Structure 1
């Protein structure tokens, strides 16, 4: 999202506060995580590299990375999967998502939106980073819901706003390398906005059966 990586940040993402949307996404995924039965932890997900257990542990990482922005440390120092929570990843996600919200609504919360963070695609202000984490939260929430038989659609206005932002900063022709997304998937007839966001991010619903 910076000139140094040839991934420009759309101006709206530099002026818009994503926290209200992001917190709603965290709450939605926290509800999904809390409802995952233990017997589904080994099930596959639409994200080929994760089963349900490791997806939940990756979701913990997606919370720890913005938490590191708040703490002034390197967000990308966290491993892709938070191995320390693999024994019980769902409660860990719920607790750490709540703590993250507290960090970004505390006395320094507004200032964190302008704190520069180094992400794989370049240096961005905190507000732009949160737009990226919003996308990741909703897409992996969709993964989790599909894998565990839960309702896969977040509130329509939330997913639609995330999709509009994703189309601005994640064009269809720029995938791979520091932009870890696959090619855009054509949405199925009747797909809701969360599924369309997942499709834009290169995710596809598994074939029935």
Structure 2
């Protein structure tokens, strides 16, 4: 199967947000309930690697649910590691074989197309989380937001909805607000 979408616009947007985060912002809260910027960066490190392994199918039968929270270590090299892992993630999902069959990430098995869509949604949403928490504006190709808003995030594997709230407060926002609202977050969240 040929790739349905390219993760590069979302990955590039996330790398830009991560690159602008200052050390003093690591303790700031994020729109992801009870999660600091530091905690979310640690999650992004695990997420990008798990999603890359889902593309290569190297973790099938061995993946485990991700740890999230203050007990999860944030490596000292996070500023270099996250962009590198995002590039590897993009390349892995560019391989047509990545889109075939079932795969696994975070202890959840699903069709590869679902895992790729989950990786895209998580990248877009966590870019938004980190951007707002650190006073930035997330940016990506609007077609990515449209794709995310048209792919039902409620159909993502349960393990990948860990920091989603139960309802959307914005019934008809622009594409990015709609994506954010579908996760249960408030698109009007402020620091």
Q: Same fold (TM over 0.5)?
A: yes
The match for 1:185 among 154, 162, 168 is 168
Indicate if the aligned counterparts of 1:25 and 1:154 stay in contact, CA closer than 8 A: yes
1:138, 1:81 → 2: CA distance? 18
* Structure 1 stretches lacking a partner, 5+ long: 1-14
* Residue 118, structure 1, aligned to residue 104, structure 2: yes
Q: How does 1:95-174 map to 2 (within 5 A)?
A: 95-105=84-94, 109-118=95-104, 123-166=109-152, 170=154
Indicate if the aligned counterparts of 1:175 and 1:182 stay in contact, CA closer than 8 A: no
2:36 aligned partner: 51
Indicate if the aligned counterparts of 2:149 and 2:179 stay in contact, CA closer than 8 A: yes
Give the TM-score normalised by the residue count of structure 2. 0.80
1:32 aligned partner: 17
Residue 92 of structure 1: CA displacement? 1.4
1:119, 1:102 → 2: CA distance? 17
* Structure 2 stretches lacking a partner, 5+ long: none
1:36, 1:179 → 2: CA distance? 24
Superposed CA RMSD in Å reads 3.1
Indicate if the aligned counterparts of 2:170 and 2:178 stay in contact, CA closer than 8 A: yes
Bigger-Rg structure (1/2): 1
Indicate if the aligned counterparts of 1:43 and 1:51 stay in contact, CA closer than 8 A: yes
2:131, 2:21 → 1: CA distance? 9
The match for 2:80 among 91, 95, 104 is 91
Change in CA separation of 1:86 and 1:154 when aligned onto 2, cut-off 3 Å: same
> Number of paired residues?
186
Indicate if the aligned counterparts of 1:53 and 1:89 stay in contact, CA closer than 8 A: no
Give the TM-score normalised by the residue count of structure 1. 0.74
Indicate if the aligned counterparts of 2:26 and 2:37 stay in contact, CA closer than 8 A: yes
